Amino acid sequence: MNRPLKGKRVAITSGPTRAWIDAVRFISNRSTGALGVAIAEVCLREEAKVTLFHGVESLLPRPHPRLKVVGIETVDDLVRELRRRLPKEGYDVFFHAMAVLDYIPQSERNGKIPSGRKTLTLRLEKTPKVINVIKELSPRTILVGFKLEVGATKGQLAKSAKRLMKSSKADFVLANDLRTVERGRHVGYLLDGESGFRGPFKWKENIARALVEAVKENIRSQPKMLAEKLKFCNASVSRGTHHRERRGHRE
């Protein structure tokens, strides 16, 4: 059986991130990491070597000899791990499914903020776009990005996915709407730079399989694309040589 992912190094980020307000309070998001687990399980069945970067209290796959798990709490933790691991690990594929906080408190308060106040003002600052770091540090890695919107139409999801693909240089983007995730049926659309906007894919397991199949198609096509590129280069060189020979005869 042809298994393009066999032996490939696959990285997955999954689950929530946190940012501390004080010693006992933090802000986070509602990600469970369930989709990341589904992707990891499909990749393991394809005989890939999987590294899963997971948030606190995120769901995890069952232990497996080809599975490595790395705990992440904050956005800074994630960026630090990626900058340390991406250049040396040489991941072939990267699924960035983690729900990274877009805004975090400007500073963490020492101790516990007294609970007697009637109001509390919390200033937030923008976090760096973590997905942009991946291709910057590992340009040849096949990158799958994820875009979550709320109350978006299919057309709006497509536009949002295209913006993310352009800014992050992702090879694929999975776009979905929170409403379907909340209802338990999870519907996703896959933006492929070659084939357009595919879907809908329903349920996390089917979405995971669709993503992995798209990546496998990409891997299978790489030798063919390289051969066509070499053929084009050789043809260009041949035309240039022939043109110079004709010029030489005329002179």
Q: How many independent structural domains does the chain possess?
A: 1
pLDDT at 247: 62
Q: What is the 3-state secondary structure (H, E, C) of the chain?
A: CCCCCCCCEEEEEECECCEECCCCCEECCCCCCHHHHHHHHHHHHCCCEEEEEEECCCCCCCCCCCEEEEEECCHHHHHHHHHHHHHHHCCCEEEECCECCCEEECCCCCCCCCCCCCCCCCCEEECCCCHHHHHHHCCCCEEEEEEEECCCCHHHHHHHHHHHHHHHCCCEEEEEEHHHHHCCCCEEEEEECCCEEEEEEECHHHHHHHHHHHHHHHHHHHHHHHHHHHHHHHHHHHHHHHHHHHHHHHC
Domain containing 64: what range?
Answer: 9-221
Residue 229 is assigned to a structural domain of this protein: no
pLDDT at 15: 97
pLDDT at 122 over 50: yes
Residue 228 is assigned to a structural domain of this protein: no
Verdict on whether the full-model pTM lies above 0.95: no
pLDDT at 239 over 60: no
pLDDT digits (tens, 9 = 90+) for 161-174: 999 999 999 999 99
pLDDT at 226: 42
Residue 42 is assigned to a structural domain of this protein: yes
pLDDT at 240 over 70: no
Residue 247 is assigned to a structural domain of this protein: no
Residue 230 is assigned to a structural domain of this protein: no
Residue 179 is assigned to a structural domain of this protein: yes
Residue 2 is assigned to a structural domain of this protein: no
Residue 4 is assigned to a structural domain of this protein: no
pLDDT mean over 29-38: 95
pLDDT digits (tens, 9 = 90+) for 178-235: 998 877 789 999 999 877 899 999 999 999 999 999 999 999 988 654 445 445 445 4
- CATH label of the domain that carries residue 145: 3.40.50.10300
